[in-house]
Structure 1
Amino acid sequence: MSTDTAPDADATPKIEVTPDAADEALGLLESEELDTGVAGLRLFVQQGGCAGLSYGMRFDEEPEEDDTVYEHHGLRVFVDPASMNYIEGSVVDYEDGLQGAGFHVENPNVVSECGCGESFRT
């Protein structure tokens, strides 16, 4: 398992999390009675949707052996190697607006998204 908690000043973190997203996820982890020092948010990519790929998120009690682990604003984020190929450089944010609240991934690798915004292609 590799850990990327303090990247070099010259290096850009491969996955970032905004303070709002970290606060929301930490609150949810705590409500599930998970240890935020070990547990974290798993961010992954799966086949599906009209554009071919979609994001998935869930809470895991601990990272898998081959995960890259990031820590931003106290939140641990787990990413498997296959998903990293699609989401490297992404930013996870939390939005609370008129059309509902939820996590959003801003992915610089996306070349097109479906009309509903639920799936993408790189």
Structure 2
Amino acid sequence: MSTETADGGGDDDTAVTVTQDAAAEAIRLIESEGLDTDEAGLRLFVQQGGCAGLSYGMRFDHEPEPDDAVVEQHGLRVFVDPASQNYVGGSTLRYEGGLQGAGFHVENPNVVSECGCGESFRT
């Protein structure tokens, strides 16, 4: 397992950067699920699907898998499996509130095209 700890952005293109707002919202949700934020975290992964070929997935996990990359930023642990890391390295995870489009969004510099709704992508 590789672990990287950072408080803000980084220049490592293999890392995932998490904004402070995204970390705060994810921690709030993890705690509302009764999980321990010292061990649990947000899993960011890529899966086949969507009109552009690939889509992002997120879920809360109790702990990382042995081969996961673990990024800790603003008190949030983010777990990324090796296959997904190839697609999301260098990305920024943001949380945007509001009446429309509230939720987590991945800004990924590796994307060459996205579908019209922004839910799937191709690298």
Residues 20-35 of structure 1: pairs in structure 2 closer than 5 A: 20-35=21-36
Q: CA deviation at 1:98?
A: 3.4
Q: CA deviation at 1:6?
A: 4.5
Contact 2:6–2:73 (Cα < 8 Å) also in 1: no
Deviating 4+ runs (over 3 angstroms) = none
| Structure 2 residues without counterparts, runs of 5 or longer | none
Equivalence for 2:55: 54
**Per-residue displacement from partner, 1:93-112 (whole Å, max 9, x unpaired)?**
00012313100000000000
Q: CA deviation at 1:11?
A: 4.5
**Per-residue displacement from partner, 1:29-71 (whole Å, max 9, x unpaired)?**
0000100000000000000000000000000000001000000
Whole-Å Cα distance in 2 between the matches of residues 92 and 69 of structure 1? Answer: 14
Q: Percent same amino acid among aligned pairs?
A: 76
Q: CA deviation at 1:2?
A: 1.1
Whole-Å Cα distance in 1 between the matches of residues 48 and 110 of structure 2? Answer: 16
Change (3 A) 1:17 1:6: closer
| Structure 1 residues without counterparts, runs of 5 or longer | none
Equivalence for 1:18: 19
Question: Are 1:82 and 2:83 an aligned pair?
Answer: yes
Equivalence for 2:3: 3
Q: Report the TM-score when normalising by structure 1.
A: 0.94
Equivalence for 2:116: 115
Equivalence for 1:104: 105
Whole-Å Cα distance in 1 between the matches of residues 21 and 6 of structure 2? Answer: 20
What letter matches 2:44 in structure 1? Answer: L
What letter matches 1:12 in structure 2? Answer: D
What letter matches 1:63 in structure 2? Answer: P
What letter matches 1:66 in structure 2? Answer: D
Counterpart secondary structure, 2:12: coil
